[in-house]
Amino acid sequence: MKVKVQARLNNFRRSAQKTRQSGSIIKGLNTAAAVHQLEHSQKGGAEALKKLLRSAIANAENNHDLDKSNLYVSNFVVEEGKTLKRWRPRAYGRAAQILKRTCNVVLTLEEIKEEKSEKRGKSHAKKAVKPEKKAKVEKIEEKEEIKKDIPAPVAKKLDLKRIQPSKGATGKKVFRRKSF
């Protein structure tokens, strides 16, 4: 059974968009590599995310008896939090709104499971070709055989007649600047 360990950071005073950039760096990495990435990151929220990651690692070790060298960051979700609204004076007695955005971060750690070699062999086995694709391949091969029997100048004329303007998914003509 897979054990998932979560740590949350609510009302983090940074926009969700900026925080997601730091999160995309560490997603899928093992915990040691993720901490290393955040230590050397130039992003503004990296320090708080490193603290959150260390908190999640401590939760895994103390609450679930997991080894920190056997953990990786499986999921990193950043949702928009509350927006603080402030006002500043502008020209002609008007006021402009300032939006101070926050976000909620959820970091999930999972244990690394060793895959058995039997499972790997099955997943990498060749997939069976669908009958629809076989039919298409056979039609293409038949057309190529027919072209071999026809002289070259006649084949070129036949190919030019077959070229039509491309049609979209709806079957209607798609606008083209140049026509054929």
What CATH number corresponds to the domain at position 86?
A: 3.90.470.10
Phi-psi region of 12 (alpha: psi -120 to 50; beta: other; left: phi over 0): beta
Specify the long-range contacts of residues 142-147, CB closer than 8 Å, at least 24 apart: none
How confident is the model over 48-84, as pLDDT tens digits?
999 999 999 999 999 998 998 899 999 999 999 999 9
Whether residue 155 contacts residue 146, with contact meaning beta carbons closer than 8 Å, is answered with no
Helix (H, G, I), strand (E, B) or coil at 10: strand
**How many domains, the chain?**
2
C-alpha to C-alpha distance for 163 and 115, rounded to whole angstroms: 51
pLDDT, residue 16, reads 93
pLDDT, residue 120, reads 46
Tens-level pLDDT at each residue, the chain (180 residues): 678 999 999 999 999 999 998 888 899 899 999 999 999 999 888 999 999 999 999 999 999 989 988 999 999 999 999 999 999 999 999 999 999 999 999 999 999 876 554 444 454 445 555 566 666 667 667 666 666 666 666 555 555 445 454 555 555 666 667 765
Whether residue 102 contacts residue 11, with contact meaning beta carbons closer than 8 Å, is answered with yes
Tokens standing for 130? 């669908």
Which candidate, 27, 28, 53, 59, places its Cα nearest to that of 39? 53
Helix (H, G, I), strand (E, B) or coil at 80: strand
Residues 70 and 158 grouped into a single domain? no
Secondary structure letter of residue 168 according to DSSP: -
pLDDT, residue 14, reads 94
pLDDT, residue 112, reads 85
Tokens standing for 129? 């070709």
Residues 105 and 137 grouped into a single domain? no
Residues 54 and 143 grouped into a single domain? no
- CA 172 to chain CA centroid, nearest Å: 33
Residues 14 and 102 grouped into a single domain? yes
Look up the domain containing 157 and give its range.
131-162
Tokens standing for 147? 């072209």
Residues 14 and 77 grouped into a single domain? yes
C-alpha to C-alpha distance for 77 and 104, rounded to whole angstroms: 8
pLDDT, residue 96, reads 97
C-alpha to C-alpha distance for 180 and 177, rounded to whole angstroms: 10
Which candidate, 45, 52, 63, places its Cα nearest to that of 9? 52
